[in-house]
Structure 1
Amino acid sequence: MAYELYYWDGIQGRGEFVRLALEEAGAEYIDITRESGRGRGTGAMLAIMQSDGEALPPFAPPFLKDGDLIISHVANILLYLGPKLGLVPDDEALRYVVNGLQLTITDFVAEVHDTHHPIATSLYYEDQKEEAKARSAAFIKERIPKFLGYFEKVLNQNPEGSDYIVGNALTYVDLSLFQIVEGLVYAFPKAMSNYRGSYPLLAALRDRVERRPNITHYLRSDRRLAFNTEGIFRHYPELDIGVS
């Protein structure tokens, strides 16, 4: 039975972290909102979220349906999928390390979102542009180095070598770090112009993920949507500043 992935159509967003894991593993899945008919489409997602019949309806997408089980939140979904897709170490203790790293990525993604919506998600970007400029300047100066520097450190201190973030094989966190780098380069090309020099191990990991056959195939397919100014990572030139 195919997994069912529920996320907003037209954007990569948070759903892309789950999508990359499914694509890497060659798992059969249905992107529900990107299809119409047969109980699919955005309406099908909203029906689950707004249903009075669901004992524990998900608060927001993404969520994954596996049979009758519904799992919400990116890190939680990946914690569930990791063993099934072969994207976590065999060591159970290390699986919690992987989950902790994914939760750190969750924190980082929330900060990325707040660069263009620092006041309220209910307001348009144009209604908070000046505040977004201030928030983005602090994010570029302080938070990008804080988070990327941390992941670079973890890669450097991996006892199994720096090819992967945990252990000696690919995990879903490696895939998520690829997405983080890609998103930041799209949103802040000036600020990220020298990331390869500042974070060489992270840059090498990004390239290593891109070369994986299933990921390469996915990135070239129409299933991989382009970044745009509706998702988490948004490029507004006025928010992008170079780093001295």
Structure 2
Amino acid sequence: MAYELYYWDGLQGRGEFVRLALEEAGADYVDITREPSRGTDAMFTLMKSDSEPHIPFAPPFLKDSDLIIPHVANILFYLGPRLGLAPEDEGLRHVANGLQLTITDFVAEVHDTHHPIDTSLYYEDQKPEAKARSAAFIRDRIPKFLGYFERVLRQNPAGSHNIVGNALTYVDLSLFQMIEGLTYAFPKAMARRKAEYPALLALHDRVEKRPNIAGYIASPRRLAFNEDGIFRHYPELDSEE
């Protein structure tokens, strides 16, 4: 049976981290809310079910037969060994999961640059606060997170060009997406800082050229970044500082 991915239609968002793993592995999957016969209603049917014993709190979540798995890092921890995108060593699988959970923290901070007060308010309702939050994010948080991943990549004891172990994992794919998203949302800031992270940029470029990823990016399955997703480009929030 095909994996079923549930996430908001029209967005890359958090669902894209799962899509990249499925696409790289050439896995059979269905992006449920993009199916005309199912759509967002199918997602809400599961989330609001009165009988499903393991209802998810929010998308993305993955359905594999009768099993429902929520949260990006949890989904990738489940999929990684099945798709050949996790280390064979059990201990290193937990290292990979820890790195993915750190990416989850990073994604949450990206989101808060445009919604620093309340997720139920529009961006336009919190512009001054978003500008202050974005300035701090660009100044302090981008270098903190990217600097960390740069060090981990350089210090991989396997001596490979991947973030953990000696082969590509879902964490490498997620770091590719982080660089993509940050470059879209904060092009001035990233243009100024990219040279500080040569190992991460080389990883990004290698992932981008992988046949399945390149094919996915060129296909209509790869949605464009937009101002409804996690990574949003508001020029007033970007800065070279």
**TM tier, smaller:** over 0.9
How many correspondences in the alignment? Answer: 241
Is 1:197–2:206 an aligned residue pair?
Answer: no
Assess, with a 3 A threshold, how the Cα gap between structure 1 residues 56 and 202 changes in structure 2: closer, same or farther: same
TM-score (norm 1): 0.98
Of residues 63, 84, 88 in structure 1, which corresponds to 2:82? Answer: 84
Distance of 2:197 and 2:117 partners within structure 1:
31
* 2:27 aligned residue: 27
Of residues 125, 128, 143 in structure 1, which corresponds to 2:126? Answer: 128
The C-alpha deviation readout for 1:11-62, integer Å capped at 9, x for no partner, is: 100000000000000000000000121xx21000000001111112100000
Distance of 1:84 and 1:162 partners within structure 2:
22
TM-score (norm 2): 0.99
* 1:240 aligned residue: 238
Assess, with a 3 A threshold, how the Cα gap between structure 1 residues 206 and 163 changes in structure 2: closer, same or farther: same
Kept in 2: contact 1:136–1:239 (CA 8 A):
yes
* 1:71 aligned residue: 69
Of residues 217, 220, 227 in structure 2, which corresponds to 1:219? Answer: 217
Mapping 1:123-162, distance limit 5 Å: 123-162=121-160
SS class of match (1:36)? coil
The C-alpha deviation readout for 1:173-195, integer Å capped at 9, x for no partner, is: 00000000000000000000034
SS class of match (2:221)? coil
1:74 maps to amino acid: V
SS class of match (2:53)? coil
Identical-residue share of aligned pairs (%): 77
Distance of 2:73 and 2:116 partners within structure 1:
23
What is the deviation of 1:162? Answer: 4.7
Distance of 1:111 and 1:197 partners within structure 2:
22
**Where do 5+ consecutive residues of structure 2 fail to align?**
none
Distance of 2:134 and 2:112 partners within structure 1:
8
SS class of match (2:204)? helix
What is the deviation of 1:105? Answer: 0.2
What is the root-mean-square deviation in Å for CA atoms of aligned residues? Answer: 0.7
Kept in 2: contact 1:33–1:42 (CA 8 A):
yes
Shift >6 Å, 4+ stretches: none
Kept in 2: contact 1:6–1:64 (CA 8 A):
yes
The C-alpha deviation readout for 1:158-216, integer Å capped at 9, x for no partner, is: 01225100011000000000000000000000000034311000000000000100000
